[in-house]
Structure 1
Amino acid sequence: MKWYLDFGHGGKDSGAVSYNKTKESDTVLKIGILIKNNLEKNNEKVITTREKDLYYSLDYRTYKANKENCDYFISLHMNSSTNKSAKGVEVWVYDEKSKVYNLAKNICTNLSKDINTPNRGVKISKNFSVLRKTKMPSILIEIDFISNSTVENSLKDDTYIKTIANSISNSLLAFVNKSIVDDSFSYCVCIGKFKDKDTDLY
């Protein structure tokens, strides 16, 4: 399977900026690289728009995905609102008939649970360029509201960032009947001779 991961904004376009100057472009890049690594550990092919803080147009993003003949297009964003209490995950698709409609629902459900944020559900739009101009099934994920001070503070925690990335990765991999590789285990090998077979090793 070949995934196109689109990390929103970048370079001169920072996207939404929080009260304490946390940039949407930096946040989704950090999360996106972790998702990329998770997919690649499962032998999935991944193409990205960017892996540094660089600007690329919307047309370039869809052009590159189409040229690479990717199977799925995943665009990562952080939401923002003048209502500073707004909070929650939502995922946008082109229409309800989209092949990735159920994937969008699963991402909302899983991410809402994993980072304890409201599930705002799947939303439909034919106006988003990355949904309209891609030849492959596409989704746009609004992870949470960077304008919310609680969310902004959480984004400073690397464990929280990893939880977001793992949640999205798990949903993507489950969609293609795979599961995330857990490389957090360590192993201990004990070698030696013991006269008493009941000797405690630990």
Structure 2
Amino acid sequence: MKFYLDFGHGGKDSGAVSFNGTFESNVVLKIGLILKSMLESYGHTVITTRIDDTYYSLSYRTNKANRYNCDYFISLHMNSFSNRNARGCEVWVYDKSSRLYNTSQSVCDSLSKALNTPNRGVKVSKSFTVLKKSKMPAMLVEIDFISNSIVEDVCSSYDYCYVVAKNICNALLKL
């Protein structure tokens, strides 16, 4: 199988920034590189948007995935909200008929348990560019809220990143 892993944001676009200055783009890059290694260890091909802190447009991301004829597009993100108590994982898909809908539910379930965070469920959106413009089934994973002080304290650690990557990997291996 060929996966396209999109590590959200990067470079001039840090994405969400925690209260103490942790960048979403750096956290999802760490998680994504671990996930890439895991998937490759099972013999899968993995194409990524980036391997460092570089900015790429949304159209670049989807065009690259489409050009490589990937089977699945997985975009990794950290959520943020003005209420610093907000927590939870959620996964976005283009519609409920997506071949990734059940896998998205599995990702939510496993991340919720592993991170001891609320399961905000699978949500549908026709407006996310990476879901709309990719020719293959796509999901956008909001791992947890970087704006939450509990998450902020651990999200840059290798252990946290490994647990997130392992749980997403396990769900993807069932495809």
Could you say which TM-score interval applies, normalised by the shorter chain?
A: over 0.9
- Aligned pairs, number: 175
CA RMSD of aligned residues (A): 0.6
Specify the alignment match of 1:16 in structure 2.
16
- Scaled by the length of structure 1, what TM-score is found? 0.86
Aligned position for 2:121: 121
Query: Which runs of structure 2 are paired with 1:1-202 in the superposition (5 Å)?
Result: 1-175=1-175
Larger Rg computed on CA atoms: 1
Q: Greater CA deviation, 136-145 or 160-169? A: 160-169
Where has structure 1 moved over 2 Å in runs of 4 or more? none
Q: If each structure's helix is expressed as a fraction of its own residues, which one has the higher value?
A: 2
Q: In 2 relative to 1, CA 65–156 (structure 1 residues): closer, same or farther, beyond 3 Å?
A: closer
Comparing 11-20 and 148-157, the one that deviates more: 148-157
Q: TM-score, normalised by structure 2?
A: 0.99
Deviation digits for residues 77-111 of structure 1 (CA, Å, limit 9, x no counterpart): 00000111100000000000111100100000011
Helix, strand or coil at the partner of 1:38: helix
Distance across 1 between alignment mates of 2:5 and 2:160: 20
Kindly indicate whether structure 1 or structure 2 has the higher relative contact order, using CA contacts under 8 Å at least 6 residues apart.
2
Q: Gaps spanning 5+ residues in structure 1: where? A: 176-202
Supply the AA of the counterpart residue of 1:3. F
The answer for unaligned runs of 5 or more in structure 2 is: none
Give me the whole-angstrom Cα distance separating, in 1, the residues matched to 2:47 and 2:156: 27
Quote the sequence identity (%): 61
